[in-house]
Amino acid sequence: MVNEYYFYLYNDEEFVAKFETKTDDILLIYKDFGEDLIIASMIKNIKLHEQIKDYQYFIKNINKMKSNCEKIKKTDFFIYLSCFNILYKLNQDTIVDYLFIKKKKRSCKLGRKFAVR
């Protein structure tokens, strides 16, 4: 399946990250970018309220780094996405907004071939 959507994350109307997704269903994105993290934490016997604090702390740190124009690794953005999805799924208040935009399909125009004289 082809990535058909862009998934944008914003913090207080400031752009944070953009991801390509296959769907515009936030719950399916949670399954891809969040469920594994929360299950792994449960296996390690980390209590849910402790996990929530950790996810919120990570999001706040990335937002602070972004506002200070610091470099952020691509892997940190994927962890950010996972934390956001988990907090969204658990109905926690997040300071992050999101937006889906469908990719525009572009038609390929064939150039005309001219004969060289």
Strand runs (DSSP E) across the chain, as ranges?
Answer: 5-11, 14-21, 96-102
Q: What is the CA radius of gyration of the chain?
A: 19
d(CA 117, CA 111): 18
Band (pLDDT 50/70/90 cuts) for residue 3 is confident
Tens-digit pLDDT profile for residues 52-107: 999 999 999 998 998 898 999 988 988 888 888 888 888 887 667 777 777 766 55
The per-residue pLDDT for 111 is: 52
Confidence check: pLDDT of 114 > 70: no
The per-residue pLDDT for 58 is: 92
Tens-digit pLDDT profile for residues 32-51: 888 888 889 889 999 999 99
d(CA 48, CA 63): 23
pTM reported for the whole predicted model: 0.74
CB atoms within 10 A of CB 37: 16
